[in-house]
A and B are shown apart, each in its own frame.
Chain A
Amino acid sequence: MKLICEHLTKAYSGREVLRDVSLTLEQGKIYGLIGRNGAGKTTLLSALTAQIPITAGAVTLDGAPVWENRGALKELCFSRELNISSESGLSSMKVRDYLHYAAIYCPRWDEVLAQRLIGEFQLPVKKRLGKLSKGMLSMVTIVAALASKAPFTFLDEPVAGLDVIAREQFYKLLLEEYQATGRTFVVSTHILSEAANVLEEVIILRGGELLTMTDTESLLNSARYVTGRAEDVDAATAGLEVHHGEVMGRSKEVTVFLREGQAIREGYDLTVQPMSLQQVFVALCGEEENR
């Protein structure tokens, strides 16, 4: 099964929040969706699951449009981030009822797994959603997503409000479920430190555009942090893809992305360091405001 989106554009009264996004999600991978606030992550996930009408382009599952297609929508589960304000009707809904509604719409719902996760997270099922902390709400969305057993499962900020131990716990559960079933997961997150090693591929959105979609390993492999005397850095990296250059006095630090076969020129006195996903993300998306 393949979920494909082609030339997807979403505009609100002329303002484009997603612009010409094309990507293919394959069965059996864990994708990370990363981007700054307002980069269009939630909008993209909503568009992929037919929860918002799109302005242009197409979203198809194995060739069939997902819009108004219950057969396709059965294969998808978008577990939204629950941001519950007092006026939201959800605030008075009990955790148990929310999960019950979710179960109705997931043909493969695994109640045993749901109960196990509720126990592990110690979720108060009789409480109303409005009474839960941000972390607890995230756990509700995690339970709904994992128990759905949907072949394509989208999690929007599942670790928001979770402490580092709960985040570890989430990624362990995600991997466990992934290994057992080979379902596809798309996880959007801001917190990249624990996520980096779990995500097989990353989809990076910047300002509503798809900046890159690549496997994490080769993205990290191609990124280098280079520091040294400004002229040495410039000479060694000339002709390469250089980001986020920062000059301090005579020194310069840049992030370089090496393409197949490229290398930083030798013979200069430079410090070349590998980068974490978080550092790569900052290098790629942090310069937005400088432009």
Chain B
Amino acid sequence: MQQLSDSKSIYLQIGEMIETDILRGVLLEEEQAPSTNELARRFTINPATAGKGLNLLIEQGILYKRRGIGMFVSPGAREKILNKRRAAFFEGRLRELLAEAGRLGITKDEMIKMIEESDL
């Protein structure tokens, strides 16, 4: 698994890690997700924080609870995560990129040219 950093709320990082694991196929749909206690132990973090990260994923329908057993990856979770990350890409990263381009005096045409030349 990945490492935690100071750059973002820990619970958000925990959520993202599990999402990344789902995208990579480390965690498959209908498989059991790590528990609050496992995450707290693994990363030496407060269980409340770990729980908050997991609850976030439950709210978004990426995980679901099975009473008395634990949390599982929802069917269609991969698709949800992809959609969410795509939206975040346009809202966040792309905006940042454009702002930085503006500061550097890079023109729109230059940007478009670069995108067209890339093998995306």
A contact residues vs B (CB 8 Å cutoff): 30, 168, 171-172, 175-176, 178-179, 194, 196-200, 216-217, 220-221, 269, 273-276
Residue B107 at the A interface, CB < 8 A? no
Q: Across the A-B interface, how many residue pairs have beta carbons closer than 8 Å?
A: 49
Q: Which residues of A contact B43 (CB under 8 A)?
A: 197
Query: What is the bound-complex CA distance between A168 and B43, given in angstroms?
Result: 10
Query: What is the bound-complex CA distance between A175 and B103, given in angstroms?
Result: 46
The segment from B5-13, B55-63, B64-72, B80-88 that touches chain A is B5-13
| CB <8 Å contact, B6 and A274 | yes
Q: Which residues of A contact B48 (CB under 8 A)?
A: 200
Which A residue's beta carbon lies closest to that of B45?
A197
B contact residues vs A (CB 8 Å cutoff): 4, 6-11, 37, 40-41, 43-49, 52, 103
Query: What is the bound-complex CA distance between A274 and B7, given in angstroms?
Result: 6
Q: Which residues of B contact A197 (CB under 8 A)?
A: 4, 10, 43-46, 49
Q: Which residues of A contact B41 (CB under 8 A)?
A: 172, 175-176, 179
Once A172-B41, A217-B52, A274-B6 are accepted as A-B contacts, the answer to whether A179 and B11 lie under 8 Å apart by CB is no
Query: What is the bound-complex CA distance between A73 and B40, given in angstroms?
Result: 30
Query: What is the bound-complex CA distance between A129 and B46, given in angstroms?
Result: 32
Contact sample, A vs B, 21 pairs, CB 8 Å cutoff: A30-B46, A171-B44, A172-B41, A172-B44, A175-B45, A178-B47, A179-B40, A179-B41, A179-B47, A197-B10, A197-B43, A197-B44, A197-B45, A198-B44, A198-B45, A200-B46, A200-B48, A216-B46, A217-B52, A220-B9, A276-B6
Q: Which residues of A contact B52 (CB under 8 A)?
A: 217
| CB <8 Å contact, A175 and B44 | yes
Query: What is the bound-complex CA distance between A273 and B8, given in angstroms?
Result: 9
B35 to chain A, nearest CB (A): 10
Q: Which residues of B contact A269 (CB under 8 A)?
A: 103
Between B8, B11, B37, B49, the greatest number of chain A beta carbons within 10 A of the residue's beta carbon is seen for: B49
A74 to chain B, nearest CB (A): 27
Query: What is the bound-complex CA distance between A221 and B52, given in angstroms?
Result: 14
